Structure 1
Amino acid sequence: MGAPIQNPVTVYNFLNYLKFEKRYAENTILAYEEDLQQFFGYLQQQFNLQQPALGEIAAAFIRSWLASLKENRNSARTINRKISTLKSFFKYHLRTGQLEQSPMTTIISPKMPKRLPVYVEQKDTDTLFRYVEFPDTWSGKTDRLILSIFYNTGMRLSELINLKESQVNASANTIKVLGKGNKERVIPVSAVLIKEIAGYMAQKSQVLEAPDKIYLLVNEKGRKLYRKYVYQAVNKYLSAVTTIDKKSPHVLRHTFATHLTNNGADLNAVKELLGHSSLAATQIYTHNTIEKLKDIYKKAHPKA
């Protein structure tokens, strides 16, 4: 699983737990591994701890590492992610009985600067789907459907790439999504999107030679899409309608959620649609709504 690590048994067992029990995505596991490798490397270099027992790892060592990260100009977001990795690591070993007390209990995470999610204005999404011309080619049909699904469901990039034909329920107008940790959620969609998906599926066999019939979205060779293809398609068409800096699939996820909250959707419902595990992750979209209301107030109220 990457380069050799300084504390192989404890780290290896933890990574296997993430992989086989928690069923985390490969990229997530690699991020955990990288954080732990960096941490144990620091312990070895700074404190000459070659193979430390878990009980030897004091909070002071952790604070020293975090201070070095700050000195090296790591952002609060990056440092918080590394703290989260260590918390999960020690919590796992508490649960398995390898550790009596976590050294993380006195570690305080740095405050995060508030950063509102970037999203596409509703007038721009209207322009995208009403007036932007998509080529009458298989790539053009695929690109339009990619954008339609992202905007209508708010699903993640990995969820879209792995979306199977069998997950689309045309009779119920729903799409079943397999999210983080293999959690399933059902997203209601419009009859218009279902019709678009049905047309795409029907044309697969007519237009392409031996296309993949398991995964919904395929390229002109009939093969399952890859991440870079989707990124490029989203960037290309969003560039035609908006000047925002970020033009990624995740921006369309933010757009889906922000447009729902701006139009009065219940926050708990948005949480379920996005597949968030806690309401705190969804509440960032209320800030966008408040900013929108402030803007309307300033423009419309006589005393503003």
Structure 2
Amino acid sequence: MSFQSFTDYLLLEKNYSALTVKAYQNDLEDFSEFIKTEYQTHSINKVNYQQIRSWIVLLVESGLSNRSINRKISALNTYYKFLLKIGDINLNPLAKHKALKTSKKIQVPFSEAEIEMALDDLNFGDDFESIRNKLIIEFFYSTGIRRIELVELKLTSIDLDNKTLKVLGKRNKERIVPLLKSVVQTTKKYLKLRSSLQSISSKDHLFLTKKGVKIYETLVYRIINDYFSSASSKVKKSPHILRHSFATHLLNQGADLNAVKELLGHSSLAATQVYTHNSIAELKKVHINAHPRSKK
């Protein structure tokens, strides 16, 4: 179904950024796909809270954080408030919903060995989906990109000659991220396979499904979770953990905090400093091994 009037409302009346609006639209489309599959219903305007609750349960079971789930439900709630405003519904099914509790528990990044196993030891194959999945992992780990940013990447976002990636982040802030040589090589393989798809409806977007439509967030999560289930025993295996690993491993290798901030697209150092706790152990090793008085 179309959410055009709702997205116009967010852009023009609420002054939301284009990226935020796109995230809301993706969340609504994800929920639409869920109720179509589970309840054979084609309109999210006519669902009840129990149906929404079953989606929440699925999201929890998929490993998505409570914070991310709350954001998705917030998007849905904003949509229902809009429908109430224009008189399309008489009751908001989320009127009495209480947000899931969130914690500040530190998320453990993948180790460098786990990343190497996922990228080098697992057999990806040479078909379209295999190369696409490998490229998605490489993008997350080598650029620190967010999941929604990856989903929204365009073909024009990539400059293979200059080995750079243009990313549109939060508040429409644009950043340029360098691409590793190995990522450029995988990208070239992927683009060749992408061009041979029988049908492409999302012509501008970089990452597609095998049916030629833009990839969606839940599929991206599933890809990361599936591959890292073979490479890692960690409970949490998500795109954000790869972003977390990207930042942590850079800091462990001595990268400047400000440089990591720019690569991640953070607006302040405070947001980046959450990743520094993981590098403390590495700093202790360096300190003990290098300090003149460490052996006394």
- Out of 14, 17, 28, which is 1:17 matched to? 14
1:170 counterpart residue number = 160
State the distance in 2 between where 1:32 and 1:210 align.
31
Asked if residue 31 in structure 1 is aligned to residue 74 in structure 2, the reply is yes
Which consecutive unaligned segments of at least 5 residues does structure 1 have?
A: 1-11, 39-71, 78-112
Alignment deviations for residues 25-78 of structure 1 (CA, whole Å, 9 cap, x no partner): 42659638959x99xxxxxxxxxxxxxxxxxxxxxxxxxxxxxxxxx997475x
3-state secondary structure, aligned to 2:16: helix
Max Rg structure: 1
2:232 counterpart residue number = 242
1:98-113 correspondence runs (5 A): none
Contact 2:17/2:172, CA 8 A, preserved across alignment: no
* Change in CA separation of 1:168 and 1:237 when aligned onto 2, cut-off 3 Å: same
One-letter amino acid of the structure 1 residue matched with residue 252 of structure 2: N
Which consecutive unaligned segments of at least 5 residues does structure 2 have?
A: 1-8, 28-70, 82-97
* Change in CA separation of 1:284 and 1:136 when aligned onto 2, cut-off 3 Å: same
Alignment deviations for residues 103-152 of structure 1 (CA, whole Å, 9 cap, x no partner): xxxxxxxxxx5x32321000111111111111332211111111111111
Aligned-residue offset at 1:15: 9.8
One-letter amino acid of the structure 2 residue matched with residue 263 of structure 1: Q
Aligned-residue offset at 1:292: 3.7
2:199 counterpart residue number = 210
Shift >6 Å, 4+ stretches: 12-15, 295-304
* Change in CA separation of 1:296 and 1:268 when aligned onto 2, cut-off 3 Å: closer
State the distance in 2 between where 1:74 and 1:190 align.
39
Contact 1:138/1:219, CA 8 A, preserved across alignment: no
State the distance in 1 between where 2:184 and 2:271 align.
29
1:146 counterpart residue number = 136
State the distance in 1 between where 2:160 and 2:153 align.
14
Aligned-residue offset at 1:217: 1.1
* Change in CA separation of 1:34 and 1:226 when aligned onto 2, cut-off 3 Å: closer
Q: Percent identity?
A: 39
Alignment deviations for residues 231-268 of structure 1 (CA, whole Å, 9 cap, x no partner): 11100001111111110111111011111101111000
3-state secondary structure, aligned to 2:176: strand
Contact 1:22/1:181, CA 8 A, preserved across alignment: yes
Aligned-residue offset at 1:153: 0.7
Contact 1:116/1:288, CA 8 A, preserved across alignment: no
What value does the CA root-mean-square deviation take over the aligned residues?
Answer: 3.5
State the distance in 2 between where 1:220 and 1:22 align.
25
2:67 counterpart residue number = none
- Taking structure 2 as the reference length, the TM-score comes to 0.65
Contact 1:119/1:252, CA 8 A, preserved across alignment: yes
State the distance in 1 between where 2:76 and 2:99 align.
21
* Change in CA separation of 1:76 and 1:166 when aligned onto 2, cut-off 3 Å: closer
State the distance in 1 between where 2:73 and 2:99 align.
22
State the distance in 2 between where 1:231 and 1:21 align.
22
* Change in CA separation of 1:294 and 1:15 when aligned onto 2, cut-off 3 Å: farther
State the distance in 2 between where 1:150 and 1:242 align.
16
Contact 2:138/2:183, CA 8 A, preserved across alignment: yes
Aligned-residue offset at 1:161: 0.8
